[in-house]
Structure 1
Amino acid sequence: MNAFQQRLVAFDVSLYYLCFGTCRLSVMSIASRLISKLGNGGVYLATGLLLAWFELEDGADFLMTGLVLFAIELPVYIFLKKAIKRDRPCDRFDDVTPQITPADKFSLPSGHAAAAFVFATALTYYYPSLMLPAYTLASLIALSRVFLGVHYPTDIIAGAALGLSSSVIGLSLLGLV
């Protein structure tokens, strides 16, 4: 590892400890758990189905677009997790006890961050007035994963970048941008 990479890793670990230390407050831990659960896939699917059912103008298109965007993001996410194999902070450091049980072994990229940004991008495309709350919630979902001890800050940045880039590619392939 060269000097720049060492500095980047040191900064990432320092920032991680700052965030994770904040979550040791019980209110932050509870809030982070609740926010993180919003990033589970079922919430996105349920929202898409509800919009398809009740929002007649764009709901069905939103659901179909979301499915295409997730179909692009998910295999790339799985490939990157298996190729990079970065240990989670809770597995690397003895003084870190995660606040939740991670779904898999590796941390880079954050799947919650990737999915949250895919969803926020699709939502913003069809409902532009929801841009600020959608991306705010996506950011909070991503940050909650650091607060809970299962991701480094660079994991969530990589996840957000994956979600955004998958969305742009998908929207382009669908001829929407």
Structure 2
Amino acid sequence: MRWLEPVQQIDLSLFKWCMARRRRETLTAIGRAVSRTADGWLYLVFIVGYGALEWSEGNAYVRLFVSAFLIERLIYWVLKNSCRRNRPADAIHDFTSFIIPSDKFSFPSGHTSAAFLFAVLVASQFPSLLPLLVFWGVLVGLSRVFLGVHFPTDTLVGAALGSTVGFVVLTSGGVF
């Protein structure tokens, strides 16, 4: 896929620029903390809490939430395992990431995709939180790059994937 080579070169340049930032240790520590917020536990806590507090509407919203995450995870898994893009540590000679990723491939960023899906779904119930949720989603994407486990386009596509699935599921009323 030669047409992707210019994108790969830009991605590599942006990645190396991120890795050359001053205060790498501080960025790495912040990145680990932010990345952990997108490990999945927050989504579970939210949906259980929302379902319990909003019992009358909660059942339908829980089904919508679960169906959105099932669709997003399925698309993510198919993309991840069909594109099979190497992570930065495997693609760049003499580079080691700052954390050990949970899977082998880089594209798209699952943490970023899930974070943006969560942001869209939560903002549908609490619109005033949208700026904060988008800011958090962007920080999750940046954390994945600064931890050395994703290239910038992995996180951009992840953000687009999560947002798109969220909007589609919300407008269609869910699957289940």
Tell me the residue number matched to 2:140.
Answer: 141
Alignment of 1:118-137 (within 5 A): 118-137=117-136
Tell me the residue number matched to 1:13.
Answer: 12
Q: CA deviation at 1:111?
A: 0.3
The size of the alignment, in residue pairs, is 174
1:107-129: CA deviations, max 9, x gaps?
A: 00100011001000001111000
Q: Partners in 1 of 2:102 and 2:167 — Cα distance?
A: 27
Q: CA deviation at 1:48?
A: 1.5
CA separation of 1:167 and 1:78: change in aligned 2, threshold 3 A: same
Alignment of 1:4-153 (within 5 A): 5-22=4-21, 25-55=24-54, 60-153=59-152
Q: CA deviation at 1:58?
A: 5.5
Report the AA paired with residue 13 of structure 2.
S
CA separation of 1:18 and 1:60: change in aligned 2, threshold 3 A: farther
TM-score, normalisation: structure 2: 0.91
Q: Secondary structure at the match of 2:21?
A: helix
Q: CA deviation at 1:73?
A: 0.4
Q: 108-117 vs 87-96, which deviates more?
A: 87-96
1:25-54: CA deviations, max 9, x gaps?
A: 211111000000001112211122122223
Tell me the residue number matched to 1:159.
Answer: 158
**8 Å Cα contact 1:85-1:106 kept in structure 2:** yes
CA separation of 1:62 and 1:23: change in aligned 2, threshold 3 A: farther
Q: Secondary structure at the match of 1:22?
A: coil
Q: 140-149 vs 161-170, which deviates more?
A: 161-170
Q: CA deviation at 1:55?
A: 4.8
- What is the CA RMSD across the aligned residues, in angstroms? 1.9
Report the AA paired with residue 100 of structure 1.
I
Report the AA paired with residue 96 of structure 1.
F
Q: Partners in 2 of 1:81 and 1:112 — Cα distance?
A: 12
Q: 100-109 vs 52-61, which deviates more?
A: 52-61
Q: Partners in 2 of 1:33 and 1:27 — Cα distance?
A: 10
Q: Partners in 1 of 2:55 and 2:150 — Cα distance?
A: 39
Q: Partners in 1 of 2:44 and 2:164 — Cα distance?
A: 20
Q: Partners in 2 of 1:21 and 1:63 — Cα distance?
A: 43
Report the AA paired with residue 76 of structure 1.
I
What is the aligned-residue identity percentage?
Answer: 36
